[in-house]
Amino acid sequence: MGIPLFCLEILFGQFASRGPINIWEINLLFKGLGITLVILSAVVSIYYNIVVATAIYFMFASMQDPLPWETCGNEWNTCNCRTFDMNTTLPDPLMWYNKSGLDCILQITSFCCTMFISCMPSNTSCSNSVLEITDGIQTPGMVKWDITLCNLLAWIVICLALISGVKSMGKAGYFTALMPYVLLTILVVRGVTLKGASKGLDFYLNPDVSKLRDSKVWKQAAAQIFFSLSCCTGSLTAMSSYNKFNNNFISDSIVIPIINCMSSFFAGFAIFSVLGFMSYNTGISVDNVTTTGPGLTFVAYPEALAQMPVPQLWSVLFFFMVACLGMGTQFPSVETVLTGIQDEYPTLIKGRKRLVFRIGTCVLGFLLGIPQTTQGGFYLLEWCDIFIGWPLLLVGFFQVLAIVWIYGVKRFSEDVYLMIGQNSIAGIIFRSYFLWAITGAIPLLLLVILAYDIYDYTPITGPAYPEWSEALGWIFVFFIMVWVPAWYVGKLFLIYRHRKTSDSFWTILKKANQPTAKWGPRDPKNRTIPRYQLPRDEAELELRPDNSYDA
């Protein structure tokens, strides 16, 4: 599903050379979908930058000796903090107690102690020192100024990288794209040479195939591909709008997703070799030292690195790599917002206004992220992550509906062949695989996943998320998606109200779903088929003021 959807979005942007809002000259009734895409990118940029900021914080914290999460002697450690060189008092290695023994059980004011389960130093460091986490989303607490400053630093880097548009972003992108591979290779080489690494690699390379019968596994796998390729956020459309018109997007659609998957597979060797080393040192099975999400990045893996010789070096390298990867994701995500608005309001593209607009957008992004840098901000970040998936699925379906089915498969195919040629190898591959996948398989799969998500949905519960947070989550989803039907109905109503003929409503609806005269390749020299011919004066207005489509 990922490759065809990836292909659809990059060919769409490449063909029209427009941002995610302005590109809907293909069907003005769906312009609200472009607004939704920009809002999605903005939301993802704001909350994902907190993850980057946390990685930056850990990178600086890794320069201390000893590491803050290496020992239990810090003021933030709870009574049941336990390092792996302490003696256990129970045969089950998962039921550890602090050396203080009975004293720990008596100090029931600590949450961890009331659970009678020990905590790793990295766990208490992350919860009590880095986040100083509260008891739930209803208790935001105080602003964590260390995380806030790291968030500010991340936004400054983003602003500097995007200040000149895609050209400066491209230069920064070389570093954020290539450096993680260098660091990852170093971590893999070091990881596989550790004692016990084979235990982790065996766990990684020999999965439990019986779990393939669990539909949730397929759902999670689809979601991972969906997010890792940046589908349905507008980023692919915005970035590909700067491609040359005849760029071979078919090869891009095959090579990039494959590299993405192989990179994830390669990264697994760095992760599981170190977790195998941790398992070897502690006597705990690998499946009990692994975790998912932020817990793997900021708790389990740092704990394993702390047991290695020269832990500061490996921790700095690891978190610098995470920060680089995060920045590499942030650059196109923020640029999507900037490109979308600038294409809609061309006066923001040139001169001083361009500079003020780009800096102002980054400042606004930083300010909107402050609530997530509070002591309860982790819950808000997790809350966003839970509900953001629904708009992504809906956006994917509406994109296929508008770009392929309403626009027409025939016209859609003609546009593709105008870029890559009908009888070229790329054209044959498109016709043989991508066309049927985009027109049939993708919308069907999106509907199946969406239906299953609705059927299998479990409301967020627990003391950290009151009932009102569930309701607020759906209001959040509604705010993102409401632009699609609201714009469609509102625009159609205006067209019907100001009609100059006695055409029926259905006739007007059909005409309203047609592309405008401006739709087509942005550069007049590429408008070579009759339905894309424009008067000379109108065609000249189609070029981006900075001719950046050819960048």
Q: Is 80 annotated as a binding residue?
A: no
3-state SS track over 233-246: CCHHHHHHCCCCCC
C-alpha–C-alpha distance, residues 545 and 40, integer Å: 26
C-alpha–C-alpha distance, residues 266 and 291, integer Å: 18
C-alpha–C-alpha distance, residues 103 and 294, integer Å: 31
Give the residue among 296, 275, 311 at the shortest CA–CA distance from 61. Answer: 311
Enter the tokens of residue 460. 């967020």
Q: Is 432 annotated as a binding residue?
A: no
| Cis peptide bond N-terminal to 485, omega within 30 | no
Q: What are the DSSP calls for 457-494, one per residue?
A: -----STTS-HHHHHHHHHHHHHHHTHHHHHHHHHHHH
Q: Is 228 annotated as a binding residue?
A: yes
CB-neighbour burial class of residue 527 (10 A; exposed 0-12, middle 13-18, buried 19+): middle
Could you report how far apart the first and last alpha carbons of the chain are, in Å?
29
Position 392, amino acid: L
Q: Which residues pair with 119 in a beta bridge?
A: 81
Side-chain half-sphere exposure of 422, counting CA atoms within 13 A: 5
The annotation places the binding site for Na(+) at 228, 260, 325
The annotation places the binding site at 228, 260, 325
